[in-house]
Structure 1
Amino acid sequence: MATEVKVPTLGESITEATLGQWLKAPGEAVKADEPIASLETDKVAVEVNSPVDGVMGEQVVAEGDTVLVDAVIAIINEGAAASTAATPAVADRNAVGQAEAAAPAEPASAPVEEDDGDPKTLSPAVRRVVLEYGLDPSKIKGTGKDGRLTKDDVLLAAKTQKPAAAPAAATPAPAVSAPAASFAVSGERKEERVRMTRLRKTVAARLKDAQNTAAMLTTYNDVDMTAVIDARNRYKDLFEKKHGIRLGFMSFFAKAAVLAARDVPAVNASIEGDEIVYRDYVDISVAVSAPQGLVVPVVRDADKLSFAGIEKTIADFGRRAKDGTLKMEEMKGGTFTISNGGVFGSLLSSPIINPPQSAVLGLHRIEERPVVRDGQIVARPMMYLALSYDHRLIDGREAVTFLVRIKEAIEDPTRLLIDL
């Protein structure tokens, strides 16, 4: 008996997705509720599970194809025996957007045998990093769902393992002749063309739209992190023992942003048509790194959460972003964004607004710098802050005031406790 596998409902207003990766090959045994494919939407990756026990049959669409909600993407043969040889996927019958489908599709991933003999499939992003560093994926421990390799797994292995010999190119690169007075090119040079994921295309479009729509401006300040670092070091063990979560810096900045938004409500507002929407709540979008790219889940009612509540929510988002299990509804409705480029080593940047929000706070790395305190030059752990804002709604005075309130709360965390 054959059972059709269809694209599930993807969420409000989302009608299509891209088949990002097949997790099962034709001929492989599958169990009910076991993931067989990964779909990429405008916001997150969604796994499609097998509805029954059986054997993977036809793959009706190819990786990179666009599919509609409720379209058939595969066939599961119930009661059939698993085959050692995989049958080729048939031509796409449910893809839409023929112009996009005409572009060269990403080749199907090859199974990789891990040490326990369980075949795994590399996603296109992971495969690119494996080839770039010349690593043997079978020797890398996967931390993703069901033990699959993530991009972070490969990057970590690249730092600790001795790279294997890089595979030879299928065809030699064309020779490049340079004028005698110009430059010379020696050795083999490679290029790879990879289709943009739906998430990356959506991010690109939204960022460009933000630049085209908002009158965007950025103001900067710096903050002395001494008091927060001292408080964290003093209470981190007790905090973790009581709440089961580490005390980080993000909860301090989230609380400081809530406090500042009460004095400058325009930063937490947005423009809708000819109206300005002011809010008595603060939903903070927190930028989180995921294998598919940067995602921005929302900490709901951050103004009502405790430090522990904020830390637990952000930690949960971080784990599920790496696993690809964030839900689309968790990405919607933020009123203000905090982006921490400091975890990647950024010293200073100008973040871009996340529409329809009107402001975003950029955090950066902490480093000791000389500052003057009481007439003396001393070293202090300093961080640059950047607030990008929509000048159509937020005046320069309001933006500077908001950033100063953040600075005051971080340099004197007692303000966060007494709401000052």
Structure 2
Amino acid sequence: MNITPVAGERRHTLQFLREIRAISPVFLGTDVDMSAVVRHRETRHKYSVVTYVLHTAARVLAAHPEANAAIRGRRFPRVARYPSANGKFTLDRTVKGRRIVLSAVLPDLQQASLADIQRQVDHFRDGDPQTMPEFAGARLLQRLPWPLGGLLFRLGVRPLSRRGAAFGTFAVTSLGHRPVDAFYSVGGTTVTLGVGRITERPVVRDGAVGIAPVMHLSFTFDHRVIDGAEAADVLAELKYALENLTGEE
């Protein structure tokens, strides 16, 4: 047996998990026929599936300000509804030989095209997390003693005026590159979307059974902010938008 302190490279993740304990998560999910997305990827640029989900979710949430929101406080809770849809997505990276998860927030995605979003995604996926200025805060948390790091983290993300920029107003996380069909994550936002793999499955169209590329879209929402009916509306609109993608906006 070998018992050691938690590696410094994971301290930012532990601070994040400590901060989101107050969330009251509820889990929904639906299967999405990704035929339109697959066709678009074949005829246009090779955008990532995460890019399509970020693009679609930002537009849907901009139309649902009750869900594009955050809550703070126990005795006297307050809710902030944000005018912009800031999408957070996760990155699987290796730092100093240790595999860790990082996240990046892309602002104002309700106005961004697929190409704009893909350029931002590529910037973070191709960059070096040990030198990129966007990850300076994570690197600081990795170095600081635990109590001091926790204090700075709370000061940085708890104020509602900063939370939308620091955490995003919605989150997208993907394990679709592995044989994972569904998983449910809490991304620190009112809405977190989990993206699984796309597989060929039987579907019924116009009364006939066919084969289509299908992806399970997981949906976690914070029940403190919205109720199930609002969450179901958001998920239904996400499903419809992905299944009826007609071209780049």
TM-score range, shorter chain: 0.7 to 0.9
Paired AA for residue 227 in structure 1: A
How far off is 1:328 after superposition? 3.6
Paired AA for residue 301 in structure 1: D
Q: Which residue of 2 aligns with 1:344?
A: 178
Aligned-residue Cα RMSD (Å) equals 2.2
Within 5 Å, give how 1:338-417 maps onto structure 2.
338-354=172-188, 357-414=189-246, 417=249
How far off is 1:290 after superposition? 1.2
Q: Which residue of 2 aligns with 1:197?
A: 7
Q: 1:294 aligns with which of 98, 101, 108?
A: 101
Paired AA for residue 218 in structure 2: A
Q: Which residue of 2 aligns with 1:280?
A: 83
C-alpha distance 323-223 of structure 1, shift in aligned 2 (>3 A):
same
Paired AA for residue 85 in structure 2: V
Q: Secondary structure at the match of 2:66?
A: helix
Paired AA for residue 352 in structure 1: V
Farther off after superposition, 201-210 or 394-403 = 201-210
Query: Aligned pairs, how many?
Result: 215
Within 5 Å, give how 1:15-54 maps onto structure 2.
none
- Structure 1 runs (4+) deviating above 6 angstroms are none
Q: Could you tell me how far apart the structure 2 residues matched to 1:334 and 1:199 are?
A: 22
When normalised by structure 1's length, the TM-score is 0.48
C-alpha distance 305-388 of structure 1, shift in aligned 2 (>3 A):
same
Higher helix proportion, which one? 2
Task: State whether residues 281 and 303 of structure 1, in contact with CA within 8 Å, keep that contact through their aligned partners in structure 2.
Answer: yes
Q: Secondary structure at the match of 1:291?
A: strand
Task: State whether residues 317 and 326 of structure 1, in contact with CA within 8 Å, keep that contact through their aligned partners in structure 2.
Answer: no
Q: Could you tell me how far apart the structure 2 residues matched to 1:335 and 1:360 are?
A: 9
How far off is 1:300 after superposition? 1.7
How far off is 1:205 after superposition? 4.2
Q: Secondary structure at the match of 2:44?
A: helix
Task: State whether residues 69 and 81 of structure 2, in contact with CA within 8 Å, keep that contact through their aligned partners in structure 1.
Answer: yes
Query: What do the CA deviations read for 1:45-97 (whole angstroms, capped 9, x no partner)?
Result: xxxxxxxxxxxxxxxxxxxxxxxxxxxxxxxxxxxxxxxxxxxxxxxxxxxxx
Highest RCO, 1 vs 2 (Cα 8 Å, sep ≥ 6): 2
Q: Which runs of 5 or more residues in structure 1 are unaligned?
A: 1-190, 237-245
C-alpha distance 406-416 of structure 1, shift in aligned 2 (>3 A):
farther
C-alpha distance 416-398 of structure 1, shift in aligned 2 (>3 A):
farther
Within 5 Å, give how 1:21-420 maps onto structure 2.
191-210=1-20, 212-236=21-45, 246-273=46-73, 274-292=77-95, 293-321=100-128, 325-328=132-135, 332-354=166-188, 357-414=189-246, 417=249
Task: State whether residues 359 and 388 of structure 1, in contact with CA within 8 Å, keep that contact through their aligned partners in structure 2.
Answer: yes
C-alpha distance 321-257 of structure 1, shift in aligned 2 (>3 A):
farther
How far off is 1:307 after superposition? 1.2
Q: Could you tell me how far apart the structure 1 residues matched to 2:123 and 2:133 are?
A: 9
Identity %: 25
C-alpha distance 329-413 of structure 1, shift in aligned 2 (>3 A):
farther
Q: Which runs of 5 or more residues in structure 2 are unaligned?
A: 139-165
Paired AA for residue 259 in structure 1: R
Q: Could you tell me how far apart the structure 2 residues matched to 1:349 and 1:208 are?
A: 20
Task: State whether residues 362 and 385 of structure 1, in contact with CA within 8 Å, keep that contact through their aligned partners in structure 2.
Answer: yes
Query: What do the CA deviations read for 1:141-197 (whole angstroms, capped 9, x no partner)?
Result: xxxxxxxxxxxxxxxxxxxxxxxxxxxxxxxxxxxxxxxxxxxxxxxxxx4444312
Q: Could you tell me how far apart the structure 1 residues matched to 2:11 and 2:47 are?
A: 35
